[in-house]
Amino acid sequence: MGRIVVISTGGTIASRWQGSGFAADADGSEVVATAPLPEGVTVELVDLFSVNSPRLTTAHQLTLLRTVHEVLADPDVDGIVVTHGTDTLEESAFLVDLHHHDGRPVVFTGSQRPMGTADGDGPGNLYDALLAASTTRGLGVLVAFAGRVHAARGTVKTQAVALDAFADPSEELLGKVGFGKVTVLRKPERPRALPLPAMPELPPRVDMVMHHADGDPVLLNAAVEAGARGIVLVGTGAGNATPEIVEAVAAAVARGVLVALTTRVAAGPVTEIYTHGGAVDLVAAGAVPTGTLRAGQARIAVLSALLGSDDAAERTGLLRRALGAAGSVLVGA
């Protein structure tokens, strides 16, 4: 069925008890050894790093992105599985998906329970990921977890500790795994892949600011003063805030800061409905609405746009392309 390369990055699937809590400790070979292999699959390992995923940096994620491209430069590789911590898996998977132009699959997986536990979910998730990586094509970057297969775009962690940890609250399920078979239920639409970014010596700072009752521009302005080149504003409802925050967004955009607008609501798109500080005014002030992408993935889209150009107009265009906004080229692969 295929030659699959597993890229190990740590996370709960590689975690063991450290005396006061669990932390990534096992190397990739130990992780791979926990799972049976689908029939006909051979596995090679890239032991990239082993960290808890809340500790991941942009440098880690860009290293992972470049490693994926280097592995796929070998035409004899049939697919890739990335074992990853669940806390930031949605961000890393989306970053790889934004720059993925190959029909061969890259499948992210992990676990909610540490390795070696009697009820651990890591071995089953890894088996499913290997199966998906060896039998699917043209679906972009995937997330295999708890017997389900998700498109990277839009998929977020929806359960803190439950085993069925991932979903796209705004889309139907992409596929299922059962009885040694992957059943694909739909084909995702994805924008044309962005070029592979350079490895900057100092990655651009991109911050997230959430609106709430009594919210004011203090944190947004502080991010700008701290040197943020990109900001994700997490609005209420369909993407709303206040007139004072609209003014702060306009001032940030005037300084060359790339601002994206998402919402703290779990499902549904950012929509220009309300004025008096709502999405109508925020978009008019220069914020780019992110559709159904939520904060973590919206931040990755901003980061990729910033890495793609030094020109403000080009960066905005790249961000809209990453978001799949009107005017970008959509592909069903």
Is 12 labeled as catalytic in the residue annotation?
Answer: yes
Kindly state the greatest CA–CA separation across the chain.
60
DSSP 192: P
Q: Active-site residue among 9, 12, 86, 242?
A: 12
The answer to whether 8 and 83 have CB atoms below 8 angstroms apart is yes
In three-state secondary structure terms, 230 is strand
Phi and psi torsions of 23, nearest 5°: -155, 155
Contacts of 48 (CB under 8 A, 6+ apart): 7, 8, 9, 28, 63, 64, 67
CB 129 within 8 A of CB 35: no
Report which of 38, 82, 16, 97 is spatially closest to residue 297, judged by C-alpha positions. 97
CA–CA distance, 73 with 67 (Å, rounded to integer): 10
DSSP H/E element including 57:
none
Q: Let me know: does 170 contact 262? Beta carbons within 8 Å.
A: no
C-alpha span between 79 and 106 (Å, rounded): 6
Whether residue 228 contacts residue 255, with contact meaning beta carbons closer than 8 Å, is answered with no
DSSP 3-state of 69: helix
∠ Cα 299 303 306 (to 5°): 140
Taking the C-alpha atoms of residue 130 and residue 145, their distance in angstroms, rounded to an integer, is: 11
Helix orientation angle between 58-72 and 89-98, rounded to the nearest 10 degrees: 50
The tokens for 47 are 């032991």
Q: How far apart are CA 257 and CA 134, in angstroms?
A: 42
Instruction: Return the active site residues.
Output: 12
